[in-house]
Amino acid sequence: MLKLHNVCKSYEGKSQVTALAGIDLAIGVGEMVAIMGPSGSGKSTLLNLMGGLDIPTSGEVLVSGKDLARSNEKERSLYRRSQISYIFQAYHLMPTLKVNQNVALPLHLAGVSSGEISRQVARVLQEVGLVARANHLPDELSGGERQRVAIARALVTGAPLLLADEPTGNLDSARGEEILNLLRSIHRERGTTIVMVTHDHHAASACDRLIKLRDGRVEGDSALGGKQ
* Cβ-based nearer residue to ligand ADP, 141 or 195: 195
Q: Determine which residue in the list 86, 103, 120, 133 makes contact with ligand ADP, applying CB under 6 A.
A: 86
Q: Does 157 bind ligand ADP (CB under 6 A)?
A: no
Closest CA to 149 of 84, 96, 99, 98: 99
Q: Please report how many Cα atoms fall inside a 13 Å half-sphere around the Cα of residue 140, on the Cβ side.
A: 11
Closest CA to 104 of 121, 92, 122: 121
CB distance 180 to 13 below 8 Å:
no
Q: Determine which residue in the list 21, 48, 60, 177 makes contact with ligand ADP, applying CB under 6 A.
A: 48
Q: Does 120 bind ligand ADP (CB under 6 A)?
A: no
Residue type at 179?
A: I
Q: Determine which residue in the list 3, 22, 30, 44 makes contact with ligand ADP, applying CB under 6 A.
A: 44
Nearest distance from C-beta of residue 204 to ligand ADP, angstroms: 14
Q: Which residues contact 147 (CB under 8 A, 6 or more apart)?
A: 87, 91, 167, 168, 170, 171, 175, 179
Q: Does 56 bind ligand ADP (CB under 6 A)?
A: no
Nearest distance from C-beta of residue 209 to ligand ADP, angstroms: 18
Residue 3 β-bridge partners: 26, 62
Q: Does 21 bind ligand ADP (CB under 6 A)?
A: no
Q: Does 17 bind ligand ADP (CB under 6 A)?
A: yes
The residues of the shown chain that bind ligand ADP, judged by CB under 6 A, are 11, 13, 17, 19, 37, 39-45, 47-48, 51, 53, 77, 80-81, 86, 163, 165
